[in-house]
């Protein structure tokens, strides 16, 4: 039978660790059953969810501490947060469209006119466009028509 020895810093001596440990610091670790990770979440009265850096962080005023246990529950939380992010994303897109929509429409009409007629207004004078100028106008119109990506990916999910 092979015996192994190590220096125990706590006991400050060399102790046998195999086959049976002589030192309590090298004892067998107790086997833990059903050990799972716990994700701590703070939930606000308005439904806002905050995930703290540390599980033992101080609970903000008005929030409730919630423990999410297990992979299935964490995935459920991720889906809930993704849905909230998507709603917020769509609301921001609608707001941006309301604010910038009229000016973008005016720019779009000006670009169409530049391509069609080959002239552009610069201040109070009219300038004749070259073929390169028309290509720039077409590229600007294409980019404007392309708009923002319709795909929304919160990028906080597991690959399946």
Task: Tell whether the model's pLDDT for residue 138 goes beyond 50.
Answer: yes
What pLDDT score does 20 carry? 67
Give the other-Cβ count within 10 Å of 148's Cβ. 10
Q: What is the pLDDT of residues 44-78, one digit of tens each?
A: 998 888 889 888 889 999 999 999 988 889 899 99
Confidence of residue 148 (pLDDT cuts 50, 70, 90): low
What pLDDT score does 26 carry? 63
Q: What is the pLDDT of residues 27-50, one digit of tens each?
A: 654 445 555 578 899 999 988 888
Query: Is-contact 104 96, C-beta < 8 A?
Result: no
Q: How far is CA 11 from the centre of its chain?
A: 48
Share of the chain above pLDDT 70, in %: 79
**Alpha carbon distance 100, 147 (integer Å):** 12
Residue 25: partners with Cβ closer than 8 Å, 6 or more residues away: 8, 10, 11
* Residues 82-93, mean pLDDT to the nearest whole number: 89
Confidence of residue 14 (pLDDT cuts 50, 70, 90): confident
State the average pLDDT for the chain: 81
Q: What are the sequence ranges of the domains in the chain?
A: 68-146
| Residue 28 backbone dihedrals phi, psi, to 5 degrees | -65, 140
What pLDDT score does 156 carry? 58
**Alpha carbon distance 30, 45 (integer Å):** 41
What pLDDT score does 99 carry? 94
CB burial string 75-110: b at 16+ within 10 A, e below: eebbeebbeeeeeeeeeeeeeeeeeeeeeeeeeeee
Query: What is the strand order of the sheet 64-69 is part of?
Result: 49-50, 38-43, 64-69
Q: The pTM is what?
A: 0.53
Confidence of residue 160 (pLDDT cuts 50, 70, 90): very low
């Amino acid at each position: 039978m092979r015996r192994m020895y190590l220096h125990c810093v706590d006991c400050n001596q060399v102790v046998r660790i195999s086959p049976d440990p002589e030192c309590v610091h090298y004892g067998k670790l107790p086997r833990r059953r059903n050990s799972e990770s716990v994700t701590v979440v703070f939930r606000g009265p308005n439904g806002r969810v905050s995930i703290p850096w540390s599980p033992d962080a101080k609970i903000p005023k008005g929030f409730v501490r919630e423990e999410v246990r297990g992979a299935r529950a964490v995935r459920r939380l991720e889906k809930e947060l993704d849905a909230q992010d998507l709603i917020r994303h769509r609301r921001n897109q609608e707001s941006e469209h309301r604010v910038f929509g009229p000016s973008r429409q005016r720019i779009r009409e000006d670009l169409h006119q530049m391509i069609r007629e080959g002239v552009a207004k610069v201040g109070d004078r009219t300038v004749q466009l070259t073929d390169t100028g028309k290509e720039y106008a077409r590229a600007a119109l294409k980019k404007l028509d392309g708009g923002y990506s319709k795909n929304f990916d919160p990028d906080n999910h597991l690959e399946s």
